[in-house]
Amino acid sequence: MDKRRKITQFITTLLYNPFVTNLFKGRLHTGSTKGVCVPGLNCYSCPAAAGSCPLGSLQQNLGNLKKGVNTYVVGSILFFAALFGRFVCGWLCPFGLLQELLYKIPFPKCVKRFKYLGWLKYVMLVVLVIALPIVISIEKGMGYPAFCKYICPQGTIGGMFLIGFNETLRAQAGLTFIIKTIILVGILICSMSIFRPFCRFICPLGAIYGLFNKIALIRIKHDKTTCTNCGVCEKACPMKLNPVTECNHADCIRCGKCISKCPAGSLKFTGKK
Amino acid sequence: MTGWMIPFMMRSIHRSKNGVFMKKINLIGIILLILSVVLITIGAYTGKVKETERKGNTICLECIGLG
């Protein structure tokens, strides 16, 4: 299953970012595909991006609520959440793939769960994604996507290519970009030691999807009648969860490692017999 | 709508000893999916797709850390 997941992650990354040549031209791809919200975190200001980031689009809308709620963006997020939950994180997110690849680098590994640090992503969601764009728009008439502006490492990667190959934009790079670059480098270094630190502790999109993990149509089911409580699934879980007691926990990214390791076949994706 | 439903569903799952609640969860998932399709359709009819496209087609300076 892990091989299938990796292939899906690579294909998804390419589908989200097919215009690779744009990376070296310092300009965005423009076209009607940008009207489509992709499920995972993928900045629409990345030169190679074909679609729009749901989180960025949501913040843009919240920062300009005079035009009304963008039901299309809200509906898209709800659609992915109700259908997949955090399956999106495990299978359909390019930044998740990047972190997983970095985790494969031989480096001292930290296997602690950091349970309470997991709440940080909800703080990010409430403060930077929802509250700040709204408050700023009330104060100044027009808000900005605060999470994208101050934190989002995915946008920084796209920004690096834009700055590198576009002289006009390079002249505008200042302190905010330096801070964002430090955050990006910090996350990438942590990714070598901790499995998916951004997804576990920071990502607000993962926080939204996580809230729907227990009611999403694609989820993991645990058969108590066949389970022997051997603990193999808990050892296999890269998110440091116990699939027996915390099945479909908000932090579960549905990577399926517990399913493939379970010797009794007690864990399955819904719909699988 | 979903705000008050989620905590209710969480409690329901913990109480669950059989498949009855799981069926309810599936039902809620389907209802949310239908609701999302309705919202997307409303958005498409009110020009929100074009609005999203317009935003996506211009460089968001804040998003890349320049704004």
Supply φ then ψ for residue A139, to 5 degrees: -70, -45
Query: Over the stretch A179-235, which tens digit does the pLDDT of each residue have?
Result: 999 999 999 999 999 999 999 999 999 999 999 998 999 889 888 889 998 989 999
User: Are the C-beta atoms of residues A77 and A54 closer than 8 Å to each other?
Assistant: yes
Beta-sheet pairing, A220-222 with A267-269: antiparallel
Domain-by-domain residue ranges, chain B?
2-56
**Number of residues in chain B:** 67
CA A266 vs CA A220, A226, A269: distances in Å:
10, 6, 10
- Cβ count near A242 (within 10 Å): 14
Residue A54 has pLDDT above 80, yes or no: yes
Residue B17 has pLDDT above 80, yes or no: no
Residue A272 has pLDDT above 70, yes or no: no
Calculate mean pLDDT across residues B23-51.
90
CB contact under 8 A, B33 and A73: no
Calculate mean pLDDT across residues B31-45.
94
Q: Which two tokens stand for residue A128?
A: 């930077």
B26 min Cα distance to partner chain A (Å): 6
User: Are the C-beta atoms of residues A201 and A120 closer than 8 Å to each other?
Assistant: yes
pLDDT bucket at B5, cuts 50 / 70 / 90: low
Residues of B in contact with A144 (CB under 8 A): 62, 67
Query: Over the stretch A102-126, which tens digit does the pLDDT of each residue have?
Result: 999 998 888 888 888 889 999 999 9
CB contact under 8 A, B40 and A71: yes
CA A216 vs CA A82, A149, B50: distances in Å:
5, 30, 29
The verdict on A44 touching B (C-beta cutoff 8 Å) is: yes
CB contact under 8 A, A152 and B63: yes
User: How much is the pLDDT for B1?
Assistant: 45
Architecture of domain A220-273: 2-Layer Sandwich (3.30)
**ipTM of this complex:** 0.88
* Interface with B, mutate which of A16, A45, A246, A268 (most B CBs under 10 A): A45
A192 min Cα distance to partner chain B (Å): 24
Angle ∠(B63,A20,A97) on CA atoms, nearest 5? 70
Residue B19 has pLDDT above 70, yes or no: no
Residue A3 CB contacts under 8 Å (≥ 6 apart), including other chains: none
Scored b (16 or more CB within 10 A) or e, A74-96 reads bbbbbbbbbbbbbbbbbbbbbbb
Which residue does chain A place closest to B25, by CA atoms?
A215
A108 min Cα distance to partner chain B (Å): 31
The verdict on A57 touching B (C-beta cutoff 8 Å) is: yes
CB contact under 8 A, B65 and A73: no
User: How much is the pLDDT for B21?
Assistant: 66
User: How much is the pLDDT for A169?
Assistant: 83
Give contacts of A 84-143 with B, CB under 8 A: none
Residue A42 has pLDDT above 70, yes or no: yes
User: Are the C-beta atoms of residues A28 and A165 closer than 8 Å to each other?
Assistant: no
Domain(s) of CATH 3.30.70: residues in chain A = 220-273
- Of A135-149, A198-212, B18-32, least confident by mean pLDDT is B18-32
